[in-house]
Amino acid sequence: MKLTKIHIILFLLTVATTFITGLSFGGDIISALSFSFALLFILGSHEMGHYYYGKKYGVDITPPYFIPAPPFISPIGTFGAFIKIKSPISTKRALFDIGIAGPLAGIVATVPVLIIGIKLSTIVDMSEHAAEGGLVLGTPLIMRLFSDIFYGPMPQGYDLFLHPVAFAGWVGLFVTALNLIPSGQLDGGHITYALFSKKYHRYISLAMITVLVIFGIGTEVLIGVGNDLFGSGFNWFSQSLPLLEGWPGWILWAVLLILMGTKHPPTMYEDTKLDMGRRILALLSLLIFIGCFTPMPIKLI
């Protein structure tokens, strides 16, 4: 792996910005360092999964570039990391392996971070902190699973106050969910393209963008608009919809996906098929996506 000066400088700057962010949580130096290490371990593992399989298939691929961000711009001190693929990918099998390797490596890194972080977290009475305001994070299924294992179901009015390491684990789940959205050239888009035809990849990409817009607006708003436009005839449909409060971030993400494009570049040899083992891994990636996703990631109180 050939690292350039820019790789090293960006990484060191990201260490600094994530450390400063960790300090801003009100913890000590050890907690800040723990947050920085945990977060960069997760992000780095994800990108190294792509890098390893890219090299395995002879793809011209760069080591990860980390993107530093000041805490007043990014709440985690970074905009993540990325790699550059500079040559075509030969087959759909290679595309699948390179695409899925990142999320799998990322979730393998995230789970132990999450377990350690949840063990370091504390249960708090939310009524004592209501006047202070702040952020409430959505709880993905994987996080709820480990929370219930260690603490049992939360009593009404209580919640888990996340240790910085647990917050890094939450970010790992969120990043994994974002990357596994089956659209465009996200990791989920690579998996979808390798699994289906170009036409179905486009249909699925557009469908997911539509779903994100719905999650961004919220079904409560959509039901209200539908009832105003169509009257009682809309009731039979609206009653079958779950009531979801919208999160505007999903609309922003949908716009970004549209700007990045819903099409996927072809592989050099399009006629290769995925074997049963890879199809099972594709199903596993869907389960991971469901376990990491939360409709309302962040809410102000």
Write out pLDDT tens, residues 246-265.
788 999 999 999 999 888 98
Q: Residue 223: its pLDDT value, please?
A: 59
Strand, helix or coil for residue 198: helix
Nearest partner of 78 among 215, 1, 172, 180, judged by Cα: 172
> What pLDDT score was predicted for residue 156?
83
Q: How many Cα atoms are found within 13 Å in the side-chain-facing hemisphere of 157?
A: 3
Q: What is the pLDDT of residue 233?
A: 54
Asked if the structure places residue 264 within a domain, the reply is yes
pLDDT (0 to 100) of residue 242: 59
In-domain check, residue 300? no
- Report pLDDT digits (tens) over 143-190: 999 999 999 888 887 888 899 999 999 999 999 999 999 999 999 999
Which residues in the chain land under pLDDT 50? Answer: none
Q: How big is the chain, counted in residues?
A: 301
11 domain-assigned: no
Number of C-beta neighbours around residue 103 at 10 A: 27
Alpha-carbon gap, residue 165 to 151, rounded angstroms:
17
Look at residue 148 in the predicted model and tell me its pLDDT.
93
What is the total count of domains within the chain? 1
Residue 232 lies in a domain: yes
Which pLDDT score, from 0 to 100, does residue 243 have? Answer: 61
Q: Report yes or no on 155 lying in a domain.
A: no
Give a yes or no: residue 298 inside a domain.
no
Tokens of 82: 């990325």
Q: What domain range is 258 assigned to?
A: 182-268
Residue 227: what pLDDT?
59
